[in-house]
Structures are given as structure tokens and as C-alpha cells.
């Protein structure tokens, strides 16, 4: 895990000291070493901050080929680097290190830009081709590792975070008003959108090549409803994924909430190594899973460490991270994720996580709601509304704790309204409403680009469309961003076995159902039934915090002070802010999500605008 930065400036206007300043901005992503490369004509410069994981002595970057004509920096891990290395050695390539990074250099030499689809891992890399006088960027197929870029006349600037690009003297900072509206509407930025004008994310599953004659962005991966997997055994695929992600020359641990996703990963981990596990608990019973985490840890034999999360932690962490978060994120689970990363970093350098389990294996009530929508779409609205309001407790209990903060009548209204939309807009509406609520703080932005970004949605079974939409939106641009920032601010590498190439392909192509009208994650529950049966039966809680309660009590003064920020009033009408605040405080509405979205936006405006 590292942080990368660089530029290609064919105009020659960038001074030699700039690359050093760029890498300093992300020192926390790689505190162990720094490396800088400048091309022979000073047109290109690459910088890296490295967190040493594999090959601690000779693996520092940048890494070059034999004659120095191909140079690479990268952030992430290539889990299939050993078989790729063997293949390249058979073809005559000579390796100087034991690191996975060197596979990128020789893979490019052998296959050109076509080597990227061969990689199974999480990565964002930049490769300078001295002979071709071009730079080649690539990002993993899911978007686990971030990569941003800015292009102008004869100039490309790139880095692991926007702040790297902001530090380049040829970039003139300007807020992107469309992106700001999108954040206000969804609570995160989907697709290639960034809060700063002209800066873009390189989309997951894409590469970018840039030379004096121009730029080319190419897609090498998209989700497929069919697969060429050689096995239908998801048990074997997950076990293999976990085993490959345990490879490290530094201590490895596992996040263990006690829920289904993390417990299954921890179970596989325990088959290979005796590791440390980490969890965060709450005093609020509806949010606390600490006892479940301790129970699973005891059963599988991990050495378990836990800590309690409180309102004071929110204040402390907010003050630490807001100056470093160059993009706002409304997802409040960023805060407990930061704390569990902080706890884990006291003991290990790498941690495995259960991220992706919900999106790949049908874990959200909104995924189930599509089944109900298709089943009930012919009924009159009045009858539908009555049915939904009369949901039995057994069905309501399927919802995560944060969803159950809403009364049945409100849940019924949300489900009913969502049924009017097509599959894509329906899923986004449901997720947005549950996370930040329906509000009029920002106008609905143009989201037509999402239909182009999510190709062939109609090819997937109706029971799976919610998962596909979440994969291309919430997973990539909310949940993985949250995990990356929270872990990297603690110099911790987090790996995600559910997002292994082969597991990913199986999850979206298998004919086995992931859910039905009464249960989610059928395939993962089946794997746990004989191993951790008490976990297999447990409903989803989610990894949220008790925002509704805390914003009316312990965090009331803290949040209100931030909301009264004068800068925030330039973008959101003060009367609208006061309206949702008052309604929340009086208990008339649950506006916790919208309020928190504004709290994070206010902090971002103070530090970055």
C-alpha cells in the first residue's frame, strides 16, 4: 500500500522540486520510504510514498526494467504475481526483486498495455515508457485503490488523492458546482466526478495512456452476467482468495464485526494462520455487535482486540481527518472505520475486511425490495400502501439498524415511491433515501451519465439489478473510498477478499440465487451453517453509528456550530438548514443523514475552498 504522484509536462514548465512537494502531501499513505524518478529529458516525474508490505529490503519504488526504459510506481497488491512472474521468467525476463511491483514492468514489456486484464489484485499504477515517450495509468477492476488525474494542453498530473494535483503549480483550483450538487444529493460522488474542476477519477477497470499527440482512456473490464469460471464452488474460490491475500512480510490481521461477511472471512483466515482480529462496539445495544465478535473470535481462535466507540470519538476524529479529506463523504461509518483501523495499526500493518459481501451476495433490504416490486407492481397503490404499512416485525427486522429508525409508514412510502422508477433510478432512490433522506437541500442533478456507466443492466436477472447498481455506485465511490481513507490515514493496508477477480465473476454470473423474499445472502449463509451457525442466522446490523440519537444529545452543540458556518450558507440556504435541524431536534423527522452530509460538507469547505 502506497501513495503515488506524478506528472508529464511536454511544455517543460514544471520545476524539478514539484514532484517532491506532491509526494509530501500523502506521506501518511506510505511512511516507510520515498522514491522519485525523473525522465531523461525531465518531461516526466514519478513519486511514491511506500508502506512496505512485500520484499522489505529490495522492493522500494520506482522499479525499472533492465535498461531503465520502463519505470513504474504503484499502490496496492497483485495477488497472482507469483504465477505471472513464473510465466514471464519462462519468456526470458530477469527479475531483480521479490516484490509484486516488478511484475508490472516485465508484464508491460511482454504484453504492452494488454497485460492489465491478467492482474488479480487491488492497484493503481503509473508506468513511464521512455522509448514510447508516454505514460500509462491503470486502476483495478473494482476501484479498491484510488487514482485521480488532470489533463490540460501538453500536461497530465495524477495522484492517489486530489490534494496531490492541487499542489502542482500549473493546476488552478476551482470548485466544480455540478459535483458539489451531486454530493449534496447522494452524499458521495459517483463515476469520475471530483469536487475540483477539471480533475477526474480514472474509472475502475480502465487504463489511460498519455503522450504528446494526445490521450486515450480504455475500458478493460465490466461486470458480466456470464462467466468462464472453471469452478462453481464458491467455498473454494473464497478460501483461495483469502489465502492469496494473507501473503505478506509484515503482520496481518482481520476486521471482525461479528456479522456474516467479516465472520466468514475470519473463518477462512483461521484455517491458515493464527491472527489477531479487531472490532468496535457501542453502548447503544441496537448498534453493538461486540459480543458477537468476541464469540466468533473465541470459536475460531483469533486473538481479539476491541474498543468502544463514543460521541467523543466523533469529535476527536472529525478534527483529525477533516483537514486531510480533500473530498467530503457523508457516510458516517467512516468514523468507526477510522477507529478500528487505528486499533488494528497498533498491532498489524495489513488487515483483511469483509467489504463487498453485501454488494456481491445480495445483502441489503433494497436488493430484496426489487423482488417485492416486481411481484407487486400490478397492484393498485392504495392496496400496496396498506400491505407495506402492515409489514410484520419479522420482515422489518431484516432491515439494518439504521433503516429501522424509520416508522413502518415511512418505509412503506419509500418503497412505494421507488416502485415508480426504472431499476437504476429505483435503487439509487432507495439507497439515497435511507442514507441521507429525502430533502430539498440540493436540486436533483443530471444523473444520465450513470446509465452509460452501468452497461447491460437489462442482461442481469431482476433479482440482481440492485446489486449491480450498488457495485457501480455505492461500493466503488462510497464504501471503498471510506475504507481507503480511514485506513490510509492510519497507514494501514486493508485487503478485500470478496472483491477477488474470481469471486467477483462467480457472484454476478452464478445461477444460484443470492436472496429471496425472506432472506438475504443465501450463498454465504449456506457456507456458515455448518461452521458458525449462530452467525448464519443473524440479521444484518450494518456498521453505522447512532447519529439520530447523538445529534439530539451528545453531538447537538458540536454539529450545530459546524452547520452555522458562513461558507456553507453560500451553497445551501440557511433557512433550509435550520428547517431540517429543527424538525430533527423536535423528533418530527429523522434528518440525521442529511445533517451529517452538511456537517462533512461544511468541514470540507472550510479546509479546501
Bind-site residues = 100, 280, 353-354
Q: Which residues pair with 276 in a beta bridge?
A: 253, 303
What number of other Cβ atoms are within 10 A of residue 56's Cβ? Answer: 14
Dist. CA 96–CA 64, nearest whole Å: 10
The secondary structure element, H or E, covering residue 3 is strand 2-9
Q: What is the dihedral of CA 497, 500, 506, 509, to 10 degrees?
A: 120
Give the span between the Cα atoms of 50 and 600, in whole angstroms.
29
Helix ranges, 510-591 (H): 522-528, 533-536, 547-550, 556-563, 566-569, 574-585
Lookup result for grid cell 469529535: 315
**b/e burial code for range 319-349 (CB count within 10 A of at least 16 → b):** eebbeebbbbbbbbbbbbbbbbbbbbbeebb
SS3 call for 169? coil
By residue count, the chain amounts to 609
Q: What is the 3-state secondary structure (H, E, C) of 238-274?
A: HHHHHHHCCCCCCCEEEECCCCHHHHHHHHHHHHHCC
**359, 515 Cβ separation under 8 angstroms:** no
**Cα-Cα-Cα-Cα dihedral of 18, 23, 25, 31, to 10°?**
-150
In angstroms, the CA 570 to CA 100 distance is 48
Q: DSSP characters for 175-210?
A: B-HHHHHHHHHHSS--TT--SBTTEEEPPTTEEEEE
Q: What is the CA radius of gyration of the chain?
A: 24
Helix, strand, coil proportions of the chain in percent (round to 5)? 45, 15, 40
Structure-derived torsion over alpha carbons of residues 593, 595, 599, 601, reported in degrees to the nearest 10:
80
Q: Kind and range of the H or E element at 121? A: strand 121-129
Annotated binding site for ATP: 280, 353-354
* Cα–Cα nearest to 235, from 531, 537, 533: 531
CA atoms within 13 A on the CB side of 362: 27
As beta bridge partners, residue 3 has 49
Active site residues: 2
User: What cell was used for 388?
Assistant: 407495506
Please list, residue by residue across 229-267, b when 16 or more beta carbons sit within 10 angstroms of its beta carbon and e when fewer do. Answer: beeeebeebbbbbbbbbbbebeebbbbbbbbbbbbbbbb
Cα–Cα distance for residue pair 280/341, rounded to 1 Å: 10
Question: What number of other Cβ atoms are within 10 A of residue 497's Cβ?
Answer: 29
191 φ/ψ sector (left φ>0, alpha ψ -120 to 50, else beta): left
Amino acid at each position: 500500500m502506497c501513495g503515488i504522484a506524478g506528472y508529464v509536462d511536454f511544455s517543460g514548465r514544471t520545476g524539478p522540486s514539484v514532484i517532491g512537494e506532491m509526494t509530501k502531501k500523502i506521506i501518511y499513505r506510505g511512511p516507510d520510504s520515498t522514491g522519485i524518478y525523473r525522465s531523461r529529458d525531465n518531461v516526466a516525474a514519478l513519486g511514491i510514498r511506500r508502506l512496505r508490505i512485500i520484499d522489505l529490503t529490495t522492493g522500494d519504488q520506482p522499479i525499472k526494467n533492465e535498461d531503465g526504459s520502463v519505470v513504474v510506481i504503484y499502490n496496492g497488491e497483485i495477488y497472482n504475481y507469483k504465477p505471472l512472474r513464473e510465466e514471464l521468467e519462462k519468456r526470458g525476463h530477469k527479475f531483480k526483486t521479490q516484490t509484486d511491483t516488478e511484475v508490472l514492468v516485465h508484464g508491460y514489456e511482454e504484453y504492452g498495455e494488454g497485460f492489465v486484464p491478467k492482474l488479480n489484485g487491488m492497484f493503481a499504477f503509473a508506468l513511464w515508457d521512455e522509448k514510447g515517450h508516454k505514460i500509462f495509468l491503470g486502476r483495478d477492476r473494482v476501484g479498491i485503490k484510488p487514482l485521480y488525474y488532470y489533463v490540460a494542453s501538453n500536461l497530465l498530473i495524477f495522484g492517489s488523492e486530489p490534494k496531490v494535483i492541487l499542489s502542482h503549480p500549473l493546476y488552478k483550483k476551482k470548485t466544480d458546482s455540478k459535483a458539489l450538487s451531486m454530493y449534496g444529493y447522494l452524499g458521495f460522488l459517483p463515476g469520475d466526478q471530483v469536487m475540483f474542476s477539471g480533475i477526474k477519477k480514472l474509472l475502475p477497470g480502465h487504463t489511460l495512456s498519455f503522450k504528446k499527440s494526445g490521450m486515450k482512456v480504455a475500458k478493460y473490464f465490466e461486470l458480466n452476467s456470464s462467466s468462464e469460471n472453471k469452478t462453481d464452488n464458491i467455498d473454494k474460490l473464497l478460501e483461495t482468495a483469502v489465502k492469496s491475500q494473507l501473503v505478506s512480510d509484515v503482520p496481518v490481521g482481520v476486521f471482525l464485526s461479528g456479522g456474516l461477511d467479516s465472520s466468514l472471512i475470519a473463518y477462512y483466515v483461521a484455517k491458515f494462520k493464527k491472527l489477531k482480529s479487531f472490532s468496535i462496539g457501542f453502548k447503544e445495544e441496537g448498534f453493538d455487535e461486540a459480543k458477537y465478535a468476541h464469540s466468533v473470535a473465541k470459536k475460531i481462535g483469533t486473538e481479539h482486540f476491541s474498543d468502544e466507540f463514543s460521541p467523543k470519538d466523533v469529535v476527536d476524529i472529525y478534527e483529525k481527518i477533516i483537514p486531510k479529506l480533500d473530498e467530503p463523504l457523508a457516510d458516517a461509518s467512516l468514523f468507526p472505520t477510522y477507529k478500528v483501523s487505528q486499533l488494528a495499526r497498533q498491532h498489524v500493518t495489513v488487515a483483511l475486511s469483509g467489504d463487498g459481501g453485501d454488494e456481491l451476495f445480495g445483502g441489503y433490504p433494497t436488493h430484496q425490495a426489487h423482488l417485492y416490486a416486481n411481484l407487486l407492481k400490478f397492484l393498485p397503490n392504495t392496496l400496496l400502501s396498506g400491505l407495506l404499512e402492515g409489514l410484520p416485525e419479522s420482515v422489518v427486522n431484516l432491515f439494518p439498524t439504521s433503516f429501522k429508525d424509520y416508522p413502518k409508514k415511512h418505509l412503506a412510502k419509500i418503497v412505494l415511491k421507488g416502485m415508480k422508477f426504472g431499476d437504476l433510478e429505483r435503487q439509487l432512490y432507495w439507497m439515497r433515501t435511507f442514507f441521507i433522506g429525502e430533502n430539498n437541500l440540493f436540486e436533483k442533478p443530471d444523473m444520465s451519465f450513470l446509465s452509460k456507466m452501468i452497461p447491460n443492466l437489462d442482461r442481469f436477472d431482476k433479482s440482481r439489478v440492485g446489486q449491480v447498481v450498488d457495485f457501480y455506485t455505492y461500493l466503488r465511490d462510497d464504501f471503498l473510498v471510506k475504507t481507503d481513507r480511514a485506513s490510509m490515514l492510519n497507514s494501514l493496508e486493508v485487503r478485500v477478499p470478496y472483491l477477488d477477480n474470481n469471486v467477483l465473476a462467480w457472484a454476478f454470473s452464478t445461477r444460484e440465487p443470492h436472496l429471496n423474499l425472506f432472506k438475504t445472502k443465501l450463498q454465504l449463509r449456506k457456507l456458515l451453517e455448518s461452521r458458525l451457525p449462530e452467525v448464519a442466522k443473524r440479521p444484518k446490523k450494518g456498521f453505522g453509528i447512532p447519529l439520530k440519537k447523538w445529534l439530539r444529545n451528545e453531538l447537538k452543540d458540536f454539529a450545530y456550530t459546524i452547520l452555522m458556518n458562513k461558507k456553507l450558507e453560500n451553497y445551501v440556504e440557511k433557512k433550509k438548514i435550520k428547517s431540517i435541524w429543527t424538525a430533527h431536534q423536535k423528533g418530527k423527522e429523522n434528518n440525521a443523514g442529511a445533517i451529517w452530509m452538511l456537517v462533512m460538507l461544511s468541514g470540507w469547505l472550510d479546509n479546501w475552498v
